[in-house]
Structure 1
Amino acid sequence: MRRPSARRLAVPLLALGLLAPALAACSDEPADLVIYSGRNEDLVAPLLEKLEKKLDANVEVRYGDSAELAAQILEEGDKTEAALFFSQDAGALGALSKEGVLTALPQSTLDKVDAAHRGSEGDWVGVSGRVRVLAYHPGKVPTPPDSVHDLTEPAWKGRIGFAPNNASFQAFVTGMRVLEGDDATRDWLKGFKANSPKAYEKNTEILEAVDSGEVSVGLLNHYYWYEKAAEEGEDKLTAKLHFLPDGDPGGLVNVAGVGLLKGADKKEAGYAQQAADFLLGEEAQSYFAEETKEYPLSAGVAPADGLPALDSLQAPKINLGELDSLKETLTMLQEAGLV
């Protein structure tokens, strides 16, 4: 399998307001299927190698940031070599759907996933889910708050960890905008900033800071805690997780997903469809559950031990395709002084 890396060029700002990577192939051998993957190579390369064997085809994977890859696809238009887009989040898929560059998926594929976790236009589908949670240090926070809105109260000043440049945090802010409106979100960001939250580069750093007591609470995705617990033992972790109730925007369930691109020839489109169905099949869904600790979304595969059932969570009701307005969210975060 070929995995060319992305190198960046100075190109005009595109639909998502981000620089698009120039994707360079490392071989002249033609590929049967080209995948643009916004998912981390270390995370999904073993799974996509299994896909290549399953298809008995030459699969080329080009990795990059999901939003940048979506912008690249829009710039390339009909000339894109990609037949399948594997996105880290629903927002990038929603952006492509809005521009009409994704092809409708068969109903048999769509029906493998709950309607809440696929595109409303039937042109993309989620393959794994993640939940925004509150990590907390029980010695410092005996009873964690039930809403991110509580974190603007003076008692939390200097005690919160977050990753402002992380795509999942930005998707959460976008979700709040969709759920509560721009004015309410702007007010929340202002109050959050006033509490001097501590910025980290990665979710793993937030979890470590909570675990050590450097901060009392942290905003992150659920699987970081479960991965660390699997590696080190749950009894080695001080930090605990709180799944926020009552549809709080801080409990957003986002998905990684796939869409098939228009313009692929019949052979490429066939391989792309097989790839989408593979990612929704039992082998791949078990991989997400066991290896990445994400929520499997199809094939009846159960989540990893210890995770609450997805349908038991009181997540906010939201059309995930509406998480596409990243440019506006970034502007709001900049205006609030958080990025």
Structure 2
Amino acid sequence: MRNALTRCVSALAVAALLLPLGTACGVGGEAGLVIYSGRNEGLIKPLLEKLEKSVGTKVEVRYGTSAELSAQLLEEGDKTKADLFLSQDAGALGALAKQGRLEKLPQPTLDKVAGQFRASAGEWVGVSGRVRVLAYNPSQVAKAPDSVRDLVKPEWKGKIGYAPTNASFQAFVTGMRVLDGDEATRNWLKGLKANDIKPYEDNLALLNAVDTGQVSLGLLNHYYWYEKVAEKGADKVTAKLHYLPGGDPGALINVAGVGVLKGSDHSAVAVKAVDFLLSKEAQTYFTDKTKEYPLASGVTSTVPGLPPLESLKAPEIDLGKLDSLQETLAMLREAGMV
């Protein structure tokens, strides 16, 4: 797995470095719409090919990590050629919104998504959602804890796994900082380290470790488990999921989202592209391919056994405030977690 910590730090150091620009649907000619995509090319390219047909304009895409691209867009400022930023997480969009680099989206577009999954001032909107959960091995855990705050207790010593370089783990820690404050979060991280929490390269390795009993619990996103079940069959997966109640920080619902760059020469087409990403076709693509939650109203998940989004007890948090990644990384380093 690519080292997310290195990526994020490097993004700030070399933000002006241009990333390769490739077309989503062929090469040649002047781009009608330029998208910077923090979502993986293997996942998103087929959908962007459909987007190109839907908006009726040639599309070119620059791929990178969301942190890198957000930093690059801030460096480029009003000279950027980008019209649209498609981010893996809300924090990168929040960073751009804070600096005034995103246009407010039309209200009919915003109204397609519930308020907690879009910017409070309307500069970006979520297109798919993922929930933080506890994966546990039922042969080792009779009852999973109802709060991540309990994971520092002695009974969990040496039994917990995490993926420290994963962007979603770092966003979760950022969310905990917003909810509980820096001092409480720092103490919690130090408590986890003292409790001999086990690091894994990525969420797939972590889930496999829970499944095979290397650790009893794992902090990860919901969709890794559903992807494993879809691939292997439910009877081949030992691990179970626990959705945390009561607005716990460990129940954070984060989003992949999209925003239109301020000053775009193709803003009307860019808004059409946003509307396409919120269409039933695109929303169903996300739920089918990644097992994420669709966020547009009127679209429901097709994933067997996935709890309805409205049934989850996520913490109340402005996702745009998940933009302080560098502070989170510094705290993780201080605690010896990365």
TM-score, length of structure 1 as denominator length: 0.93
Q: After superposition, give the CA deviation of every residue in 1:251-292 in whole Å (9 maximum; x if it has no partner).
A: 100000000001211xx2122111100000100011111111
| Corresponding residue number in structure 2 for 1:41 | 41
1:100 aligned onto 2:96:
no
1:295 aligned onto 2:314:
no
**8 Å contact kept, 1:93–1:258:** yes
Percent identity of equivalent pairs: 66
CA distance in 1, matches of 2:108, 2:320: 20
**Unaligned ranges ≥5, structure 1:** 1-12
SS for the counterpart of 2:126 is: strand
**8 Å contact kept, 1:281–1:299:** no
**Unaligned ranges ≥5, structure 2:** 1-8
Letter in 1 for 2:61: V
| Corresponding residue number in structure 2 for 1:323 | 322
CA distance in 1, matches of 2:13, 2:136: 33
RMSD after superposition: 1.4
CA distance in 1, matches of 2:122, 2:71: 21
1:182 aligned onto 2:182:
yes
| Corresponding residue number in structure 1 for 2:20 | 24
CA distance in 1, matches of 2:166, 2:18: 22
SS for the counterpart of 1:176 is: helix
Over 3 Å counting, the alpha-carbon distance change for 1:52 and 1:120 in structure 2 is same
Letter in 1 for 2:50: K
Letter in 2 for 1:276: V
| Corresponding residue number in structure 2 for 1:123 | 123
1:161 aligned onto 2:157:
no
| Corresponding residue number in structure 2 for 1:85 | 85
Q: After superposition, give the CA deviation of every residue in 1:296-338 in whole Å (9 maximum; x if it has no partner).
A: 0014111222111111111100010010111100110010011
CA distance in 2, matches of 1:89, 1:24: 22
Letter in 1 for 2:154: P
| Corresponding residue number in structure 1 for 2:6 | none
**8 Å contact kept, 1:127–1:297:** yes
CA distance in 2, matches of 1:262, 1:227: 37
| Corresponding residue number in structure 2 for 1:7 | none
SS for the counterpart of 2:85 is: strand
Q: After superposition, give the CA deviation of every residue in 1:191-246 in whole Å (9 maximum; x if it has no partner).
A: 01111111112111111110011111100000000011111111110000000011
SS for the counterpart of 1:125 is: strand
CA distance in 2, matches of 1:182, 1:121: 25
CA distance in 2, matches of 1:226, 1:287: 15
**8 Å contact kept, 2:243–2:312:** yes
CA distance in 1, matches of 2:232, 2:28: 44
CA distance in 2, matches of 1:91, 1:225: 24
SS for the counterpart of 2:139 is: coil
Cα drift, residue 29 of structure 1? 2.6
CA distance in 2, matches of 1:224, 1:19: 32
CA distance in 2, matches of 1:235, 1:52: 40
Cα drift, residue 52 of structure 1? 1.3
| Corresponding residue number in structure 2 for 1:137 | 137
**8 Å contact kept, 1:127–1:255:** yes
Cα drift, residue 17 of structure 1? 4.3
> Matches of residues 1-339 of structure 1 in structure 2 within 5 Å?
17=12, 19-20=14-15, 21-25=17-21, 29-265=29-265, 268-303=266-301, 304-339=303-338
Over 3 Å counting, the alpha-carbon distance change for 1:299 and 1:246 in structure 2 is closer
| Corresponding residue number in structure 2 for 1:6 | none
CA distance in 2, matches of 1:17, 1:73: 11
Letter in 2 for 1:335: E
Cα drift, residue 18 of structure 1? 5.5
Range with bigger deviation, 210-219 or 152-161: 152-161
Letter in 1 for 2:321: E
SS for the counterpart of 1:22 is: coil
CA distance in 2, matches of 1:18, 1:46: 32
Cα drift, residue 56 of structure 1? 2.7
Cα drift, residue 28 of structure 1? 5.6
Cα drift, residue 55 of structure 1? 2.1
Q: How many residues align?
A: 324
Range with bigger deviation, 94-103 or 149-158: 149-158
Cα drift, residue 58 of structure 1? 1.5
CA distance in 2, matches of 1:219, 1:38: 23
Letter in 2 for 1:314: K
CA distance in 1, matches of 2:243, 2:312: 7
Q: After superposition, give the CA deviation of every residue in 1:40-65 in whole Å (9 maximum; x if it has no partner).
A: 11111111111112223211111111
Letter in 1 for 2:96: L
CA distance in 1, matches of 2:308, 2:37: 28
Range with bigger deviation, 105-114 or 24-33: 24-33
| Corresponding residue number in structure 2 for 1:10 | none
CA distance in 2, matches of 1:216, 1:142: 10
Cα drift, residue 25 of structure 1? 2.9
